[in-house]
Amino acid sequence: MYWWQESVVYQIYPRSFKDSNHDGIGDLQGIISKLPYLHYLGVDMIWLCPVYASPNEDNGYDISDYFDIMRDFGSMADMDQLIAEAKHFGIGIMMDIVANHTSSEHAWFKEAKKSKNNPYHAYYIFKENLGEIPSDLQSIFLGSAWELSPDTNEFYLHMFAKGQPDLNWDHKSVRDAIYQILNWWMDKGIKGFRFDVIDMISKDLDKKKISDGPNLHTYITEMNQKSYGSRDVLTVGETWGATVEKALKYSNLDGSEFSMIFNFSHILLDQAQGKEKWDFIDLDLLSLKRVLAEQQIQMHGRGWNSLFWNNHDLPRIVSRWGNDKEYRVQSSKMFGTLSHFMQGTPYIYQGEELGMTNVVFEDLNDYRDIETFNMINQRLNQGYEMNSILDSIHKIGRDNARTPFQWSSQAHAGFSDVEPWIKVNPNYIDINVEKQMHDQDSVLEYYRKLIKLRKNSEYQDLIRDGDFELMYEDHPDVFAYNRKLGSQRLEVICNFHGKVITLPYSTKSKRVLLSNYEEVLDQQDLVLRPYAAIVLTAGDE
C-alpha cells in the first residue's frame, strides 16, 4: 500500500484562491492564510497550478523560469514558507510541471530562435520554411500549430498558444534539464507532481501523431529513474488520450511510471460521440456508468485511479450534469458521494466543496481565457451566431472554473478588497465558506464527512481496497454500485434526475451511513428524491 492511496488532493488555482496584497490577484500569502481552512476540510495534499515565472499568456502554463516564482504570486521566500507551513498542517504540496512546452520568453527559446547553430536550437521543434506552412496541424487552442520565427526563417511548433513552443523531448539535454528541475523542487520538500499534458512529450509528426508517440513510456520511465522514482512522492499525469489500457501501463503498481493519471474518458463522453469540445449533448448516463465501472473494475489491484469531476479546464460538474438552481446543494453532494466512495485518490477542485457553479457573463470583455478568445475568433470566421458562441462559453468555457473563490458575502466574495482580475460569480452572496462552515446541511460540511469516512473510519479499508460492482446497471436514471471487503459492504445509490424515483429494494437490515436528504428507510422500497445520494451499509451485522 502507498500513502497516496489514502490521500485526498485539493487543487488550487492560485490566481483565484485568495488575494493577500490588494491587487485583485490571488497569491501565495493568500494560500498560506487559508491553510487552516484546508486543514478543517481535511485534505492532505495541495495540487498547486503553476506559480512559476511566466508572462501569463495561458495563466502560468507558459513558464519562463522553472526556478522562480511569478511576481503576481510572490517570491521564492513565500513559496518556501508555504511548503513549511503546509507541512505543519500535515499537508504536502504538489507542483504542476509543464514540460511539454515552455514560454517563448524562456531563456532556452530566446537562444534557440537566434540561429540554427545555437546549442538551444535543438531544444525545440523547428521546420524549414519552404514557402508554406509545414503541415495543416492545428493547435489545441485552434489555428495553425506552426508559427514563423523570422531570425532563422523557420517555423516552430506550438500545440497550444504561440507563446508556448513545444520542447523537443527527443533531445537528451531537454530531458536532463527537466529531471534537474524535478530534483531541485523535491530537494525543497515538495511531495508530488502533476505532469501537464504529459502524453504529448513524444510525437510522431510525420504520422500527425501529437501524443502517445513511440518514446512516451521510455521517457516517463527514464524520468522516473532519474528523478522522483527514488523519492516518496505522489505523481499524476495529465493524459487526455488515456484509456483504461493505457492507464494500467502508466500507473502500474510496480512504481515504474506514475502513481496515477487523470483518465478523462468519463469527462469526454460527448467527444466519444464525435462532438467537438465546444458542442455538447445531454448526459448519457448509461455510458457514464459503463466508462466509470470499467475504470473501477479493470484498474482494481493492477493500477490506481484518480477520482475527479472538476478542474481548472472544465466547467463545474454541478452545472454540467447536475442542477445548479433548485437542486444545487443536492446535486453537488450527489457528485461528491458518487466519486468519493470509489477506489482511487479523490481530487477536489477549489469551490467544488461549496457547490460553486458555472458563471454566465453576457459581456465578452469579462472573459479572460485565451482558449475562449481563440474559439470566438474561429467560430465568428466560420459564420456562427454570437448567441450560439456565448452559449458554448457559458457551458464549456474554462473561465467557469476560474472565477474567484467565494469566501464570504462581503464585497468581491472576500477574495480581495479590490476588483479581482476576473469577476466573481454574483451568486457568492449565497454560496460561500462563511455561510457553509458549521451549517450541518451545507455542501462544505458534507465534503468534510466524505473525507473523514475515507481517511478515518471503520470503512477506510473497504473504500481503499474493496471490490466494485454496478447495481441497477440498466436503470436510465440511477447510478448505483456496491463495494465489498471481507464481511463489509457499502451500497452507493444516486438519482441523476430532478424527479422522485422509487426503486424496488429491500431495506431490511440496512443502515444509512450518509445521505444528502434526511432519509427514512422504508421496509419495502427505496424512494429516491431529486438528486438523492444514499450510502447504505449491509452485511456487517
Query: Which residues form the catalytic set?
Result: 196, 238
User: Can residue 196 be called a binding residue for Ca ion (CB under 5 A)?
Assistant: no
Give whichever of 10 and 61 is closer to ligand GLC, judged by the CB atom.
61
Site mask, ligand GLC, residues 92-131, x = CB under 6 A?
A: ------x---------------------------------
- Work out whether 147 is an interface residue with ligand GLC (CB under 6 A): no
In 10 A of CB 292, how many CB atoms?
A: 22
Can you read off the three cell numbers belonging to residue 503?
A: 426503486
User: 27 or 58, CB closer to ligand GLC?
Assistant: 58
The phi and psi torsions of 224 (rounded to 5 degrees) equal -55, -50
Least Cβ distance, residue 330 to Ca ion (angstroms): 35
The CA distance from 402 to 422, in Å, is 8
Confirm or reject binding of residue 270 to ligand GLC (CB under 6 A): no
Cell of 271: 467527444
DSSP letter string over 490-510? EEEEEE-SSS-EEEE---TT-
Nearer Cβ to Ca ion (16/357): 16
C-alpha Rg value of the chain to the nearest Å: 23
Out of 27, 96, 147, 369, name the contact with Ca ion by CB under 5 A. 27
Cell digits of residue 170: 527527443
Cell of 359: 458563471
Contacted by 61, from ligand GLC, Ca ion, none: CB < 5 to 8 Å by type = ligand GLC
Residue 80 burial by Cβ neighbours in a 10 Å radius (0-12, 13-18, 19+): middle
Question: Toward ligand GLC, which CB reaches closer, 65 or 313?
Answer: 313
Q: Kindly report the backbone phi and psi dihedral angles of residue 202, in degrees, each rounded to the nearest multiple of 5, phi listed first.
A: -115, 125
Number of residues that bind ligand GLC (CB under 6 A): 9
- From the list 15-23, 52-60, 396-404, 453-461, the region that binds Ca ion by CB under 5 A is 15-23
DSSP E strand boundaries for 286-413 = 306-307, 345-349
Among 7, 10, 19, 123, binds Ca ion (CB under 5 A): 19
State the binding partner of 313 from Ca ion, ligand GLC, none, CB within 5 to 8 A by kind.
ligand GLC
- Is residue 4 near ligand GLC by the rule CB under 6 A? no
Q: To the nearest 5 percent, what fractions of the chain are helix, strand and coil? A: 35, 20, 45
Which does residue 196 bind out of ligand GLC, Ca ion, none, counting CB within 5 to 8 angstroms by kind?
Answer: ligand GLC
Give how far Cα 302 sits from Cα of 203, 234, 253, 296, Å. Answer: 27, 17, 6, 11
Q: How many angstroms separate the CA atoms of 536 and 212, rounded?
A: 41
Instruction: Determine if 196 is a binding residue for ligand GLC (CB under 6 A).
Output: yes
Q: List phi, psi (to 5°) of 338.
A: -55, -45
Q: Least separation, in Å, of the C-beta of 189 and ligand GLC?
A: 24
Where does this chain bind Ca ion (CB under 5 A)? 19, 21, 23, 25, 27
Where does this chain bind ligand GLC (CB under 6 A)? 58, 61, 98, 160, 196-197, 238, 312-313
